[in-house]
Structure 1
Amino acid sequence: MEAVILTGIARRVLDELIRNPYRTIELRSARNVLAVEEALKEALKLFLTYDPFEDVSTGTEGLLAEILEAKEINTRIPWEESDEREITVCRAKVKLVGLGRVVEVERRDGILVARVRELFPHEMSIG
């Protein structure tokens, strides 16, 4: 199955998604926001992983999820130390589909899209 990869997802979020298959995640990384947009446009699943963008390769493990809805929110930054005054946040409501492992990964316009093989729980070595 093909999925868009969300990288650098906190272990706490991954653990909560395993315990409760429905969750709204808040994404601030520009790559992850673009990845959600791509997944919505192409009707693809999401692959959520703890690994950073640069480390995702064949064999990377994570969670497969379906996007139920997503919206972008522009927020003002209240402190003066930042060179930016606004930040775009994406809130995506997802449903856990299962566990997965990357078989093949491809970069498309700054995001990662992968062929993912669904795993059985005993095959997973994450965490």
Structure 2
Amino acid sequence: MEYVALTGISDSAISELKDHQLRTIEIRTPQNFFTSLNVGVGDDIFLTHTSIQDLTRGNTGIIAKVIKHQLSTHRTITGNDMFFEEHETMMIRLQLQAKGIARISKVLSNEIGKETRVVAEDMCFYEAR
């Protein structure tokens, strides 16, 4: 099945998602931000700890369902009598529910600045070792 893929997710976040079934993650990296921008509530996505540069057939990860999708902007203003500096960042918060473990069978797109997409197949427990 074809999925949008979020790469470079920490092992601890993936483990917590597996263990607790519901987890909210914040997406700040540019590649994952662009990838998750058009993800909607109810969509299934693929998450892996593998970096986008190392994404290949055989990499494992977790399939999760998007429960909530929130786009937010954070603005910070610092300064003194001489200057002011304004810094603005955007992030996406995804609340996810774990569905199962999967293995990539084909990488469809992993170009920088474009949506990362893979074809992944569900794995049985005994195959995940």
Matched-pair contact (CA < 8 Å) for 2:37–2:92: no
Whole-Å Cα distance in 1 between the matches of residues 37 and 91 of structure 2? 12
Deviations 1:57-105 (A, max 9, x none): 111100001111111111124678xx97111111001111100001111
Matched-pair contact (CA < 8 Å) for 1:26–1:89: yes
CA RMSD of aligned residues (A): 2.2
Higher mean C-alpha displacement, 93-102 vs 27-36: 27-36
Would you say how many aligned residue pairs link Structure 1 and Structure 2?
122
Percent sequence identity is 25
Q: Structure 2 unaligned runs (5+)?
A: 80-84
Distance of aligned partners of 1:76 and 1:66 in 2 relative to their CA distance in 1, 3 Å threshold: same
Q: Structure 1 unaligned runs (5+)?
A: none
State the SS of the aligned residue for 2:13: helix
Residue number in structure 2 paired with 1:101: 103
Based on CA coordinates, which of the two structures has the bigger radius of gyration? 2
| Structure 2 length-normalised TM | 0.84
Whole-Å Cα distance in 2 between the matches of residues 77 and 55 of structure 1? 34
1:2 and 2:6 matched: no
Higher mean C-alpha displacement, 56-65 vs 105-114: 105-114
Give the counterpart letter for 2:20 in structure 1: N
| Structure 1 length-normalised TM | 0.85
